Structure 1
Amino acid sequence: MKKIGMSLLIAAVGGAVAIGGYKLFENKQNEQMTFEEKQKVYFANNPGSEILSSTGNPDFTEAAAAVSPGVVHIKVTMTRRASQGGGGSPFDMFEEFFGMPQRRQQQQPRQATASGSGVLISPDGYIVTNNHVVEDADKIEVKLTDQRTFEAKVIGRDADFDLALLKVSGSSLPFVKFGDSDHVRIGEWVLAVGYPLSLQSTVTAGIVSAKGRQIGILGEQGQGSPYGYGQPQEPIARTAVESFIQTDAVINKGNSGGALVNTRGELVGINAAIASPTGVYAGYGFAIPVNLVKKIVNDFKEFGTVQRGYVGVNFREVDAAIREEYKIDDIHGLYVFDVVKDGAAAAAGIQKGDVLTKVEGNIIYSSSDLQERVARLNPGDKLKLTYKRDGKERDVTVTLKAQDTKKSVTEEEASASATEIFNKLGASFTPASDAQKKKFGVNSGVVITQVHRGGMFEYFGVEKGLVVTHVNGKPVNNVDDVESALGSTKRNIVRITGVSEGGTTEFNFPIQY
């Protein structure tokens, strides 16, 4: 009997050791997994009944029930400096340059609060939300639908993508299943889940009304934009990436960072902005595609920051002005204004004047088609691009490179910086005719033929037809003169002098990065 008892004891101890060892190995493996891999393992081991897309009269009850517990309310406490004389203007930072009334009363710190939404993406407490929800936070509190509250820490955040990853100490937490934003179709039913207007968990329904939408809010947040907060490019310096899913599901303040899900209860986007002249819902909301979100949050978890690969080109979308100015017949694509020396594009043979027409075999209709695809990749990853030169298309494989922040500013890099500023102005120019110069009594000038959406010219109300005579104090007679003069921009302020029927006008544009 003693031998039998000893054998059972040894077997029990051995089993416990084996189970404990397996658990330690499992936990280690779990830490090394991406969020997508974690979700696949979880749902493979915990299969549930599939939530099917509704037909006939829509029924969103199953999707709402599956998703709502994994969407959290985020409350932020921050310290702000407020003037004793009243609230600040969003243009306070520009007063010095525009001669606006100065408010120089003594500043006092005060506590302020704000709220938004977030989405649990793993059972161990990782939460994705918008950067603008938490960027000024001193303290972040997360509240679940079951009324549990946690204090969250920021794992990583990035303003260029308007995404942040938070972490709370918890286990077996409800979370939302990843979907595939590439397969989202225009006209498809979607749900927006979040905490709008400080209400409790709220679900609204609508359809996807557009994809790959660029609205010019990232980098311009908080400056009076009609999107509740220029010109797209992939420059040498860091730049925002916009390729939003547009929906008419009702989204309001507080929905930021919440979930956009399909009728199968799968996360397809993170709600980020609304189009509104009043600050409340007026018809359209915008969400960051989940396929981009996956990459960014995995970078946050592993590196604490986004690992960005660069093609190494400055470009503008092909439009009527580009076709006329550069004598090309392409209907769409990206016209290459400049190629970074020793960059990925240069190594692949892409040159200034080429037109990028396809990425991974897909036609490029707008800059977001390229930007989002590149943003999902890391330095060292390969990307297939198609470009047109002399009327012939060529396929190349580009190996993305990391941005070299240690380089000194050479003349070529300074020129590229001028190109970046040129694109931010958001306008097309043509040389002024002798008759126009004579009419206004000037010796130099370029005429604004088009003002592009999202650029500084549009933002400050500069209209086409204006004859620009000087940029940063230098006379300009063609596009090259404009770009050259922009290279002498100081303190990130571009000085423009122009003439029109109303007389001479001077502008000072703050260029933000």
Structure 2
Amino acid sequence: MKRLFSLFMISLLSGATTLGAYKLFFEGNSGHNSIVTSAPTNYNRTIGNYGEAIDFSVAAENAIHTVVHVKNVSVRTIYNPIMEYFYGSRGTQQQEQIGTGSGVIISEDGYIVTNNHVIKDATELEVTLNNNKSYKAKLIGTDSKMDIALLKIDADEKLPYSTFADSDAVKVGEWVLAVGNPYNLNSTVTAGIVSAKARNLDTRGIQSFIQTDAAVNPGNSGGALVNTRGELIGINTMISSPTGSYAGYSFAVPSNITRKIIEDLMEFGNVQRGILGVEGRELNSNFSQEIGINDTEGFYVDNVTKNSGAEKAGLQKGDIIKKLDNQKVNSFAELSGYINSKRPNDKVQVTFVRDGKIKVVPVTLVKKELFNTEFKGLELEDIEAADKKKYRIDYGVKIKDVTSDALKPYQDQLKGNIILKVDNQKATDVETVSAFLNRKGEDQSVNIQMINRLGQMMQIIIQ
């Protein structure tokens, strides 16, 4: 009897399985003579953590109305040497040039942030909103080092504006949207992920980019990089491309740095830069082996600037900086990026390792203008506005003093000169020169191009 009952149960289960399979594979496809599986209606939605769906349309709708088209009108003088020889001043012509880019509205009363290179040399600026209304714009201030400019328009209505997110909290792999208005055809949106943070491209002094694979082309410069809530995490500033068009990667100035710059421009009229007062390089396996330590992560302090906050706090050569406040530091780009979001007299908690022990000290940042560096017996400092005007240059570092006994006989000829290039690298400021020189050994020669106090070009090689 038990055997008969077991056979009955097996037969019943087999029949149910067969019936279920028939209903699933045949009745489920009734009326569709195809083996192609239809995707559910929300198939194109990206599934986030915990199964939550991310809808890019919300972020796009929040962002597109805050992104504007920026038109830059400039005048260039064209010289015709033959015409100038025969006709004098009539040999020159004034030619109008028009450049375009994007910008982001950051306040309802019409403040707009864009790239410095978008508005450079402009004699006239015009901004067109996403609703096609156009306004003349006034330049409030610029920061050429970080490629940021601040504009202002007087609109006849309250404007939609972008809110700032914390760019330090952005994670690699996070979805982002790049929004621009390149051709005055209303805002365009592309999607991608954050590919990397704190990218140092050694260009124009910018040391801490957000890298993304969202498509950005030249006309999108100055546009917004936003998260999936439509909040601003960066200002798109450049692309990596051999052709001038998008080829896989683009870069944005982080929102924390951008916010600090525009607040400085609005409050002070210029950018207030603070410095920590350390020079050095990031650790890696080869360098750690070279200096005889086991640690391969962090920023190795090779020199502490005199009278800086770092010196007053007791930081020393050989210390390994691990964190600034709660931000991990593994590279110069991460260190400079965080410091660039601070002002002089701000306090930063520096976590570092010395002799295998972890220490934490508060460091008060000092004004960047006090920053100088010394290399091969030359003490260098940033040039002032008067120097730029006098020598008609927009970058360079000045030889403040000569400390080397070998160079003392040439002190009068060197002191006060403006260094323009070091080994064919532009000497944009002391920070840039210091970072470059720290990658060279003390036993390597350095080729220096400079302007002397008479305005004459010089070139010297220092061993």
Greater C-alpha Rg: 2
Query: Partner of 1:351: helix, strand, or coil?
Result: coil
Q: In the TM superposition, what are the counterparts of 1:292-303 in structure 2 within 5 Å?
A: 292-303=257-268
Match of 1:158 among 127, 143, 149: 143
* Contact 2:448 2:459 (8 Å CA) reproduced: no
Partner of 1:18: none
Deviations 1:195-231 (CA, angstroms, capped at 9, x unpaired): 23565421111111111222222x2xxxxxxxxxxxx
Asked if residue 392 in structure 1 is aligned to residue 357 in structure 2, the reply is: yes
Query: Partner of 1:268: helix, strand, or coil?
Result: strand
Partner of 1:61: 57
Partner of 1:116: 101
Q: Report the structure, 1 or 2, having the larger strand content.
A: 2
Match of 1:417 among 372, 380, 402: 380
Query: Partner of 2:442: helix, strand, or coil?
Result: helix
Q: After TM superposition, where is structure 1 displaced by more than 4 Å over at least 4 residues in a row?
A: 52-58, 409-414, 455-460, 485-498
Q: CA RMSD in A?
A: 3.6
Q: Structure 1 residue 334: deviation in Å?
A: 2.0
Asked if residue 381 in structure 1 is aligned to residue 366 in structure 2, the reply is: no
| 1:61 aligned partner, one-letter code | S
How much identity, in percent, do the aligned residues show?
44
Partner of 1:187: 173
Q: Structure 1 residue 182: deviation in Å?
A: 2.4
Partner of 1:505: none
Query: Partner of 1:479: helix, strand, or coil?
Result: coil
Q: Structure 1 residue 318: deviation in Å?
A: 2.2
Distance 1:53 1:267 in 2: 21
Match of 2:125 among 137, 140, 159: 140
Query: How many residues get paired?
Result: 354
Partner of 1:178: 164
Stretches of structure 2 lacking an aligned partner (at least 5 in a row): 1-44, 82-90, 382-395, 397-420, 427-439
Distance 2:313 2:74 in 1: 47
Deviations 1:29-53 (CA, angstroms, capped at 9, x unpaired): xxxxxxxxxxxxxxxxxxxxxxx99
Query: Partner of 2:136: helix, strand, or coil?
Result: strand
Q: In the TM superposition, what are the counterparts of 1:192-271 in structure 2 within 5 Å?
A: 192-196=178-182, 199-217=185-203, 219=204, 240-271=205-236
Distance 1:404 1:175 in 2: 34
TM-score by length of 2: 0.68
Match of 2:70 among 74, 78, 102: 74
Partner of 1:511: none
Distance 1:167 1:114 in 2: 18
Query: Partner of 1:254: helix, strand, or coil?
Result: helix
139 and 265 in structure 1: CA distance in 2 versus 1, 3 angstrom threshold: same
Partner of 2:110: 125
Query: Partner of 2:361: helix, strand, or coil?
Result: strand
Distance 2:305 2:143 in 1: 24
84 and 310 in structure 1: CA distance in 2 versus 1, 3 angstrom threshold: same
Stretches of structure 1 lacking an aligned partner (at least 5 in a row): 1-51, 86-105, 220-239, 419-423, 425-454, 461-477, 499-513
TM-score by length of 1: 0.62
Partner of 1:439: none
* Contact 2:447 2:462 (8 Å CA) reproduced: no
Q: Structure 1 residue 412: deviation in Å?
A: 8.4
Q: Structure 1 residue 458: deviation in Å?
A: 9.8
| 1:152 aligned partner, one-letter code | A
| 1:480 aligned partner, one-letter code | E
Q: In the TM superposition, what are the counterparts of 1:30-49 in structure 2 within 5 Å?
A: none
Query: Partner of 1:417: helix, strand, or coil?
Result: strand
Q: Structure 1 residue 114: deviation in Å?
A: 0.4
Q: Structure 1 residue 321: deviation in Å?
A: 5.0
Partner of 1:278: 243
| 1:114 aligned partner, one-letter code | G
Query: Partner of 2:302: helix, strand, or coil?
Result: strand
209 and 410 in structure 1: CA distance in 2 versus 1, 3 angstrom threshold: closer
Distance 2:315 2:441 in 1: 22
* Contact 2:116 2:149 (8 Å CA) reproduced: yes
Q: Structure 1 residue 269: deviation in Å?
A: 1.1
Deviations 1:59-79 (CA, angstroms, capped at 9, x unpaired): 322222221111000000112
Distance 1:124 1:343 in 2: 39
